[in-house]
Structure 1
Amino acid sequence: MTPLARLLAERIRETGPITVADYMAECLLHPVHGYYTTRDPFGAAGDFTTAPEISQMFGELVGLALAQAWLDRGAPAPFTLAELGPGRGTLMADILRATRSVPGFHAAARVLLVEASPVLRRKQQETISRGHDLGLRWIEGAGDLPEQPLFLVANEFFDALPIHQYQFINGGWHERLIGLQEGALAFGLAEGPTLPYTMAMHHREDGAIIEENRIGRFIMRQVHHRLHHHGGVALVIDYGDWRSHGDTLQALRAHAFDDPLAHPGEADLTAHVDFEPLAEHQPHFYTTQGAFLTRLGIDARAERLARNLTGAALESHRAAHRRLTHPEEMGSLFKVLAVTSDGAPPPPGFA
């Protein structure tokens, strides 16, 4: 039993079962034992590798898409260039490198990073400051974003936000809870039926599970407000579907899938993203990551980079290109949602 598991078991004995959302929040952000607060989870030494870590092409193309969207909207100045959950800072570093030659873009940009982990904030400072002299600023949440034009990216951010789960049993929705069974953490259900605030209420098969990302919806409302009043675009890139159903809670530990209740605080917890609630009737565009990157020109960029590579480096480059775009890898599993302001043109990468 991990140190955090012992603390959670003691809490449950004292106050009763906890929600899946509370469990995820403790596992990921506990100040002493949280997965994100105590380590760098990215790359070979961590438990997962995100698209920016796979290839520089991802961040370059995302950056140029944001810059073109900025130009298409009249190049407002100043504007907020923000990232939610920047990881090691690789994506923002690539965005800034790729957009260095866009006239006026860097001069107008105010770079903001939304990051809770002190470990990752230090890593982001090191990674991003290495390549440019723009000032960086960290904020605690989307509610602290300035009231000005916003160009924002969130890559594999919403999948790590705590979710509530509900199960349809005997004609009613019951919230899924985590309690104790023979001293070990175990799933159970709330006694009384609960009516979840969710868009999936039509899914009523007995035993069905639905998930609700309340924090994600709150964050996107802050983003929507700024886009509506000041213009801009927000790109959300993550794995999931427009409307997901079922239990998608999963744990990753030492680059392998794990029981979500087995090693709290020592495994990454995520859930598939429902994109429909994040759009929430705002002007939006939606596609797969593979289609998005292909429309942005990743094939030509990959071919150009390949000219200077041979041997193992060339094979690694080709594998990265395939991993980002192929339908059997990240190309179809990962989706891209662009939220814009009324009347704005579609951002680059969308039909």
Structure 2
Amino acid sequence: EKARREAEAKAKKEAEEAARRAAEEAARLAAEEAARKAAEEEAARIAAEEQARREAEEAAAAEQARLEAEVLARAQVDVPKVLRRLIRETGPIPLSQYMGESNARYYASRDPLGEQGDFITAPEITQVFGELIGVWLADLWSKMTKRKYIHYVELGPGRGTLAKDALGAAAKQGLKPQIHFVETSATLRKLQREAFPDCIHHHDISTLPDDAPLLIVANEFFDALPVQHLIRSTDGWYGRMVGLEGDDFTFVTGKERLDHLVPPSWVTASQGTLIETSPAAVALMAEIARRLKEQGGAALIIDYGHEELRSGSTLQALKSHQKVDVFAHPGDADLTAHVDFELLQHVAQQHGADVMGLQYQGEWLIQMGIDTRMEMLIRRAPYQRDKFERQRNRLVKDSEMGRLFKVLGLCGRRWPFGAGFD
């Protein structure tokens, strides 16, 4: 009996041990199978992500190539011929369409900057202009706990001169953002890539990233956006159109009432009053403000224009640094108009951005320390004193760019106000 019980106990123990080993083996095999499946799923996921990334890059490259091909094709367009045919077939066109078509070809076909171009902007006058903007950006960034990931966005960066000076100064303070340029000119894109090989180009701000705050700079960008002229008649407001008189372009009055585009304070203006407005500028400012509200960041809008809406036309054409008739060289002259800063501020606030303020360019640069910086340059190269003083005066003096040009500062909610808007 004793031997039987011992045998049963032994058999039971061996059976339990065998069951335990079997369970462990089954668990091991199951774990291995689960791990294998997980590894296969992870590999499949990585492969799918890589495939999606490659497809996205290929699609982006294809879209980029398509857009650049469009830009190059636009550069070959005979604008006067196209507009004359359009007017003859469909009747007078809005001034904004004439200006938009002309500037699209103009900017797509050339480098308009410098002595050999049609105009010179502030960054081309002196490096100090861009450096002070870089200092402004870095100071604002440092107040926001020095976020590691942030985007620098410049609208119409030209040759990249402002970006080079601004980002060089900002880098000394530790600010090294991802660089984005909104540019449609193939010629200027090439120059920008040479200066910033890692920059990302965009045809408009709709493709800017939305994963981090934006530091936006727009120097002499808004003035080239198409404007619309509104004229007060006996029974309301009508748009100014572009028609033909023989083969010559000429202004004509449209037949459609546009009272809804007129600010309330101007509705009852006297007959013959003309005002300018820019739907394109309104749309762009609304998108900038929306992004600042949702992503955070700040924007500097620097341009020539009015503190408040005035009557009269400011539309002008520049060719070889001279003013020419706006109808003389469509597509081969730079068409610009004064920026309505009152409207831009109103639109920015409507769409959720905070307005830091609006300053005269001269006053803003003085507050940012242009005189101190110029004095440093003079000490290093006293034989160039006259040149440095001319550069400073051109940017700051009321009779030059100092008062006509304005600086508008914007930021997202809970972002601090930048320097220079005291």
TM-score, normalization by structure 2: 0.77
Whether the aligned pair in 1 keeps the contact of 2:213 and 2:292 (CA below 8 Å) is yes
Question: What's 2:261 paired with?
Answer: 197
Question: What's 1:237 paired with?
Answer: 302
Q: Report SS of the residue matched to 2:230.
A: strand
Whether the aligned pair in 2 keeps the contact of 1:28 and 1:268 (CA below 8 Å) is yes
Question: What's 1:16 paired with?
Answer: 91
Question: What's 1:253 paired with?
Answer: 319
Whether the aligned pair in 2 keeps the contact of 1:244 and 1:272 (CA below 8 Å) is no
Q: Report SS of the residue matched to 2:249.
A: strand
Question: What's 1:188 paired with?
Answer: 252
User: Which has the bigger relative contact order, CA under 8 A and spacing at least 6?
Assistant: 1
Q: Does 1:178 align with 2:246?
A: no
Q: Report SS of the residue matched to 1:307.
A: helix
Q: Report SS of the residue matched to 1:83.
A: strand
Q: Aligned match of 1:144 in 195, 204, 207?
A: 207
1:271 and 1:263 map into 2 onto residues whose CA distance is 16
Q: Report SS of the residue matched to 1:190.
A: strand
Q: Does 1:117 align with 2:182?
A: no
Q: 1:68 to 1:10 in 2, by over 3 A?
A: same
1:256 and 1:222 map into 2 onto residues whose CA distance is 34
Question: What's 1:45 paired with?
Answer: 116
Q: Report SS of the residue matched to 2:142.
A: helix
Question: What's 1:4 paired with?
Answer: 79
Whether the aligned pair in 2 keeps the contact of 1:90 and 1:128 (CA below 8 Å) is no
Question: What's 1:271 paired with?
Answer: 337
Deviation at residue 153 of structure 1 after TM alignment: 0.4
**Bigger CA drift: 222-231 or 85-94?**
222-231
2:264 and 2:367 map into 1 onto residues whose CA distance is 32
Q: Report SS of the residue matched to 1:332.
A: coil
Q: Aligned match of 1:293 in 361, 365, 368?
A: 365
Partner letter of residue 354 of structure 2? P
**Bigger CA drift: 8-17 or 199-208?**
199-208
Give CA-to-partner distance per residue, 1:83-122, whole Å, 9 cap, x none.
011111100011111112212x11xx11100011111111
Q: Report SS of the residue matched to 2:331.
A: coil
2:263 and 2:188 map into 1 onto residues whose CA distance is 34
Give CA-to-partner distance per residue, 1:187-239, whole Å, 9 cap, x none.
01102422242436526122111112111121122211221122211000000
Deviation at residue 308 of structure 1 after TM alignment: 2.7
Partner letter of residue 161 of structure 1? L
Question: What's 2:228 paired with?
Answer: 164
Give CA-to-partner distance per residue, 1:125-146, whole Å, 9 cap, x none.
22345xxxxx210112112222
Question: What's 2:139 paired with?
Answer: 68
Deviation at residue 77 of structure 1 after TM alignment: 2.9
Q: Aligned match of 1:207 in 263, 272, 284?
A: 272
Q: Aligned match of 1:98 in 169, 176, 185?
A: 169
Q: Report SS of the residue matched to 1:234.
A: strand
Question: What's 1:317 paired with?
Answer: 388
1:219-238 map, 5 Å: 219-238=284-303
2:274 and 2:265 map into 1 onto residues whose CA distance is 11
Deviation at residue 76 of structure 1 after TM alignment: 2.2
Deviation at residue 275 of structure 1 after TM alignment: 1.3
Partner letter of residue 298 of structure 2? V
Q: Report SS of the residue matched to 1:40.
A: coil
**Bigger CA drift: 302-311 or 194-203?**
194-203
Deviation at residue 315 of structure 1 after TM alignment: 2.0
2:327 and 2:265 map into 1 onto residues whose CA distance is 27
Aligned residues: 337
Whether the aligned pair in 1 keeps the contact of 2:363 and 2:402 (CA below 8 Å) is yes
Partner letter of residue 140 of structure 2? A
Q: Report SS of the residue matched to 1:22.
A: helix
Give CA-to-partner distance per residue, 1:164-194, whole Å, 9 cap, x none.
1111121311100000013210001102422
Q: Report SS of the residue matched to 1:178.
A: strand
Give CA-to-partner distance per residue, 1:20-45, whole Å, 9 cap, x none.
1111111111xxxx111111000000
Deviation at residue 3 of structure 1 after TM alignment: 4.1
Question: What's 1:132 paired with?
Answer: none
The structure having more radius of gyration, on CA atoms, is 2
TM-score, normalization by structure 1: 0.92
Note the residue ranges of structure 2 that are not aligned, 5 or more in a row: 1-76
| Structure number with higher helix proportion | 2
Deviation at residue 7 of structure 1 after TM alignment: 2.3
Question: What's 2:50 paired with?
Answer: none
Whether the aligned pair in 1 keeps the contact of 2:309 and 2:342 (CA below 8 Å) is no
